[in-house]
Amino acid sequence: MADTMQFDLVSPERRLASMQVQAVLVPGADGDLTAMADHAPLITTLRPGMLRVESGAGHQEYLVTGGFAEIGDGLSVLAEQALLRADVTQDIFDTLAADAKAAHDAAKSSGGDIDATFKRVADIEAVGTELGMTTR
């Protein structure tokens, strides 16, 4: 198929996707980007967000909580955690939000990176809003 590239999405637990795609919207730490065939080589860190994939099979969305994306001959995403959007439940979202808040509280009490942990909390809450979920 013309104008496609190889896309692989893996987390520590499993491989979630390996397919030819037309485009992938990546939630980069420095801003969203769209990877397509013949994209310039790039490595970026991920922020919590929705990774959107456009392929001949249709559109898929995955929640990623962080990790790295490498664009070369294709796109490889190594996610801290990744879930198919349809698999994200309120309980899973609550756990992600609680973990982010706990990390922020720990950073405040230990002199850690308060700004980074606050941003993570905000990013998780934004994903929840997009998914129609709120923290309890």
Q: Give the dihedral of Cα atoms 2, 57, 125, 29; nearest 10 deg.
A: -20
Tracing tokens 């941003």 back to the chain, one arrives at 119
Helix ranges (H only) for the chain are 90-110, 114-131
79 to 7, 14, 20, 56, 68: CA distances (angstroms): 13, 10, 19, 23, 6
- The CATH number of domain 5-85 is 2.40.160.60: no
pLDDT per residue, tens digit, the chain (136 aa), is: 459 999 999 999 999 999 999 999 999 999 999 999 999 999 999 999 999 999 988 999 999 999 999 999 999 999 999 999 999 999 999 999 999 999 999 999 998 899 999 999 999 999 999 999 987 6
Cross-strand partners of 5: 21
**What are the domain boundaries of the chain?**
5-85, 88-131
What is the pLDDT, as a whole number, of residue 57?
A: 87
- This model's pTM is above 0.85: yes
